[in-house]
């Protein structure tokens, strides 16, 4: 498994976040039954950069906390990874996560929990988007939220 982390901002101290992000990515994949052969890219940005990305890719003219960019239909990779196939020696990239650390810090203060917990939750949330989950309906939201909470429970990251 490859987890690539890129800090492209200088407004919020990102020291120590690599480890928690790696733990969350690994645990989210384990919840789905995938433990290796994938690659995920995580970028830390500020509100200005995520605003630009949100406007360009989603036509939403405001900042957000996290964006998910799946590279493929996860079910196709998941099926391929599970099969015994000698052609699958290479790592399969599943997507990119972009987190505004500036927004995460604001939300942690607003919600009354730690900055680490907020970054962990945003990472888990985005991982499940990369794996094909969404929260457009109430039923989808319940499924996705249960998976996010399972990751947080396994990592003992409390509210």
Task: Name residue 2's beta-bridge partners.
Answer: 39
Task: Give me the pLDDT at residue 77, please.
Answer: 56
**Going by C-beta distance under 8 Å and a sequence separation of 6 or more, which residues neighbour residue 3?**
21, 22, 25, 26, 39, 40, 42
Tell me: is residue 113 an annotated ligand-binding position: no
Contact 57, 86 (CB under 8 A): no
> For residues 91 and 75, what is the distance between their CA atoms, to the nearest angstrom?
16
Q: Would you list the domain boundaries of the chain?
A: 2-154
Which tokens in the block code for residue 94?
A: 């599943």
Task: Give me the pLDDT at residue 133, please.
Answer: 94
Tell me: is residue 125 an annotated ligand-binding position: yes
Contact 11, 101 (CB under 8 A): yes
Task: Name residue 137's beta-bridge partners.
Answer: none
Tell me: is residue 51 an annotated ligand-binding position: no
Which tokens in the block code for residue 82?
A: 């599970």
Task: Give me the pLDDT at residue 109, please.
Answer: 97
**Going by C-beta distance under 8 Å and a sequence separation of 6 or more, which residues neighbour residue 53?**
45, 67, 98
Task: Give me the pLDDT at residue 76, please.
Answer: 58
What does R_g of the chain's alpha carbons equal in angstroms? 15
Task: Give me the pLDDT at residue 37, please.
Answer: 85
**Going by C-beta distance under 8 Å and a sequence separation of 6 or more, which residues neighbour residue 115?**
12, 104, 105, 108
> For residues 99 and 26, what is the distance between their CA atoms, to the nearest angstrom?
17
Query: Within the chain, which residues score under 70 in pLDDT?
Result: 35-36, 74-89
Please name the fold of domain 2-154.
Answer: Collagenase (Catalytic Domain) (3.40.390)
Count of all residues that appear for the chain in the document: 159
Task: Give me the pLDDT at residue 91, please.
Answer: 84
Mean residue pLDDT across the chain? 91
Question: What is this structure's pTM?
Answer: 0.90
């Amino acid at each position: 498994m490859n987890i690539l982390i890129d800090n492209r901002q200088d407004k919020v101290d990102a020291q120590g976040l690599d480890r928690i992000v790696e733990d969350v990515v690994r645990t989210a994949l384990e919840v789905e039954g995938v433990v290796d052969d994938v690659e995920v890219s995580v970028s830390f940005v500020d509100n200005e950069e995520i605003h630009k990305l949100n406007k360009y890719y989603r036509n939403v003219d405001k900042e957000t906390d996290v964006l998910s960019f799946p590279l493929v239909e996860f079910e196709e990779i998941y099926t391929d990874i599970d099969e015994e196939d000698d052609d699958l020696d290479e790592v399969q990239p599943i997507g990119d996560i972009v987190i505004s650390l500036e927004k995460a810090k604001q939300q942690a203060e607003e919600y009354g929990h730690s900055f680490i917990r907020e970054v962990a939750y945003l990472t888990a949330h985005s991982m499940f988007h990369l794996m094909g989950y969404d929260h457009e309906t109430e039923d989808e939201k319940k499924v996705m939220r249960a998976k996010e909470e399972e990751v947080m429970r396994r990592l003992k990251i409390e509210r």
